Structure 1
Amino acid sequence: MSALADTRPVALVAAAHPGPAAAVTLLAAVLAVAVDMPASRVVLVTAAVAAGQLSIGWSNDLIDLSRDRAVGRQDKPLALGTLDPRVAAAACAAAVVLCVVLSLMCGLPAGLLHLGCVAAGWAYNLGLKATVWSWVPYAVAFGLLPAFVWSAADQTGSVPWWLLSAAASLGVGAHLLNVLPDIADDDATGVRGLPHRLGARRLPGAAVAVLVLGSVLVLFGASVPLVVAVAGVVVVAALAAVVLRGHGKAPFAAAVGIALLDAVLLVVAL
Structure 2
Amino acid sequence: MPTTPALLLVRAAHPRQALVTAAALGTAAAVSGRPLREVGLVLVTVLVGQSILGWADDLSDRRRDARHRPDKPLSGGTLEPGTVWFALTCAVLLVVPLAVANGRLAGASYLALLAIAAVGDRLLHARTTSFAPWMASFALYPAFLAYGGWNGVGTTTPPTPVMTALAAALGLGVHLLTALPGLVHDHEEGERSLPLVLALRTGTPRLLVAAGVFTGLVVLGMLVAGRTVGLT
What TM-score do the two structures reach when normalised by structure 2? 0.86
Q: Which residue of 1 aligns with 2:125?
A: 129
| Letter of the structure 1 residue corresponding to residue 124 of structure 2 | L
Q: Distance in 1 between matches of 2:191 and 2:115?
A: 20
Q: Which residue of 1 aligns with 2:44?
A: 47
Q: Which residue of 1 aligns with 2:20?
A: 23
Shift of 1:215: 4.4
| Letter of the structure 1 residue corresponding to residue 146 of structure 2 | W
Structure number, greater radius of gyration: 1
Q: Which residue of 22, 29, 54 maps to 1:57?
A: 54
| Letter of the structure 2 residue corresponding to residue 218 of structure 1 | M
Q: Deviations over 1:210-243 (max 9, x none)?
A: 425524643664565xxxxxxxxxxxxxxxxxxx
Classify the secondary structure of the residue corresponding to 2:82: helix
Shift of 1:24: 0.9
Q: Which residue of 1 aligns with 2:108?
A: 112
Q: Distance in 2 between matches of 1:165 and 1:209?
A: 17
Provide closer, same or farther for how the CA distance between residues 43 and 223 of structure 1 changes in structure 2, counting only shifts above 3 A: closer
Q: Which residue of 1 aligns with 2:79?
A: 83
Provide closer, same or farther for how the CA distance between residues 42 and 199 of structure 1 changes in structure 2, counting only shifts above 3 A: same
| Letter of the structure 1 residue corresponding to residue 166 of structure 2 | A
Alignment of 1:218 with 2:218, yes or no, is no
Contact 2:121/2:130 (<8 A) preserved: no
Shift of 1:206: 4.3
Provide closer, same or farther for how the CA distance between residues 222 and 13 of structure 1 changes in structure 2, counting only shifts above 3 A: closer
| Letter of the structure 2 residue corresponding to residue 95 of structure 1 | A
| Letter of the structure 1 residue corresponding to residue 42 of structure 2 | V
Contact 1:163/1:218 (<8 A) preserved: yes
Shift of 1:44: 2.0
Provide closer, same or farther for how the CA distance between residues 203 and 53 of structure 1 changes in structure 2, counting only shifts above 3 A: same
Q: Distance in 2 between matches of 1:134 and 1:204?
A: 17
Classify the secondary structure of the residue corresponding to 1:191: coil
Q: Distance in 1 between matches of 2:42 and 2:62?
A: 31
Q: Which residue of 2 aligns with 1:170?
A: 170
Q: Distance in 2 between matches of 1:178 and 1:149?
A: 24
Classify the secondary structure of the residue corresponding to 2:52: helix
Amino-acid identity (%): 35
Classify the secondary structure of the residue corresponding to 2:106: helix
Q: Which residue of 1 aligns with 2:139?
A: 143
Q: Which residue of 2 aligns with 1:199?
A: 199
What TM-score do the two structures reach when normalised by structure 1? 0.75
- Which stretches in structure 1 are left out of the alignment for 5+ residues? 225-267
- Which stretches in structure 2 are left out of the alignment for 5+ residues? none
Provide closer, same or farther for how the CA distance between residues 156 and 188 of structure 1 changes in structure 2, counting only shifts above 3 A: same
Classify the secondary structure of the residue corresponding to 2:74: helix
- More divergent stretch after superposition (36-45 vs 23-32): 36-45
Contact 2:126/2:192 (<8 A) preserved: yes
Q: Which residue of 30, 33, 38 maps to 2:35?
A: 38
Classify the secondary structure of the residue corresponding to 1:79: coil
